[in-house]
Amino acid sequence: MIQPGLARIMPEVGQRTWKLYYAAKEGHWALAKFQWGEIKELMELGAFTRPKHEEALNQFLAEDWPALGKAIQNEDFPAFEAAFHHAIEQANAYHELKDKPYIRWQLPDHPPPDLDMKPRGKK
């Protein structure tokens, strides 16, 4: 059986995390919620396909991911931003823990050019 490893899944997580941040920053909460859910599903897929990382991924999802979801639900960017940066710090700490200190994700300083981050249908 061929299964995607984390080396295939995590680049997509990074792209979606980038979009998640800038969607929330623009107040495009529907897009932020969508990206948050997609990232969660990718992490769950990684935990399933790579059991040696299951405990760490599930711990991250249980301890660090819910605060982002709550901030998105409440449409609270200051709470989102704090939870986002905490989650990134924790993700990078997991890379260290898993003997991959050379993987250190950072948020690009500009929105992704391939997706319009402006919310639709709001007055």
CATH value at residue 58: 1.20.120
Residue 63 in any domain: the answer is yes
Residue 77 in any domain: the answer is yes
Count how many domains the chain has: 1
Residue 34 in any domain: the answer is yes
Residue 4 has pLDDT above 90, yes or no: no
Residue 105 in any domain: the answer is no
* Beta carbons within 8 Å of 111's beta carbon, 6+ residues apart: 22, 25, 26, 117
Residue 119 in any domain: the answer is no
Q: What are 76-114's pLDDT values in tens digits?
A: 999 999 999 999 999 999 999 989 999 999 999 999 999
Q: What are 33-80's pLDDT values in tens digits?
A: 999 999 999 999 999 999 999 999 999 999 999 999 999 999 999 999
Residue 87 in any domain: the answer is yes
Residue 23 in any domain: the answer is yes
- Structural domain boundaries enclosing 21: 8-97
Residue 109 in any domain: the answer is no
* Beta carbons within 8 Å of 47's beta carbon, 6+ residues apart: 53, 54, 57, 58, 61
